[in-house]
Amino acid sequence: MEIDDYIVADDRRLVALVLEGDQSAFEYLFNRYREAIYRLFVQRIDDVNDADDLLQETFIKVYINIDRYSPDYTFGQWVYTIARNTLIDYIRRRSDDISIDERFLSPASPAPTPEESVIAAQRRMQFDACLMHLTPVYRQLIEMRFLEERSYEEIAETLGRPMNTVKTQIRRAKEAMCRLIVERES
């Protein structure tokens, strides 16, 4: 496959290629998710060295178990679940090394604060409001690409349009969406 094919391929296609022995496909999956998973670890444990180790451990588990991936879930959800379980195992192992006094200290909650929840809800409402102001064509493209997480190929096939047309229209839809958001903020 050409580099461009890997870049635009959806996760399911890359998983299929990995199962066929394509190591480059796994590299693209890793690059697609490593930042988000790494941030998850850094936010929870505040130790970049341990976060690096957990990231590696997570993707080793992903690689070893990729044949168990079920397309019933998005690949991102599956990777996140493995990362979360890896983090839980790490915390359990580490708790064995912590003194009794430290165990009873109140840990910082990973849940969002009430303020963060309100802000997230407001952003989602703003996004939905802006989405409703887009033309039906742009709204459909934004929903398919970003809410349904479809690949460019899937969108092109579903809509019966050439891939380059879909890419151009999605770029224009994103630009229109950004303009609407900026207008609402000012």
- DSSP structure string for 101-120: HHHTS-PPPSSPPHHHHHHH
Q: What is the CATH number of domain 3-103?
A: 1.10.1740.10
Q: Please, which contacts does 16-25 make with residues 24 or more away whose CB atoms are closer than 8 Å? A: 18/63, 18/66, 19/66, 19/67, 25/1
Q: How many CB atoms lie within 10 A of CB 154?
A: 17
Q: Give the residue carrying structure tokens 């996760």.
A: 11
Look up the CATH architecture of domain 114-185. Orthogonal Bundle (1.10)
Query: pLDDT (tens digit, 0 to 9) for every residue of the chain, 186 residues total?
Result: 677 676 777 888 888 888 888 888 888 889 888 998 998 898 888 788 889 999 999 999 999 888 898 888 888 899 999 999 999 888 888 766 655 555 555 556 667 777 777 777 888 888 888 889 999 999 999 899 888 888 889 999 999 999 999 999 999 998 888 888 778 766
CA distances from 117 to 46, 112, 121, 181, 184 (A): 22, 6, 6, 20, 20
Residue type, 103: R
Where does the chain hold its CATH 1.10.1740.10 domain(s)? Answer: 3-103
Q: Is the pTM of this model over 0.75?
A: no
Residue type, 41: F
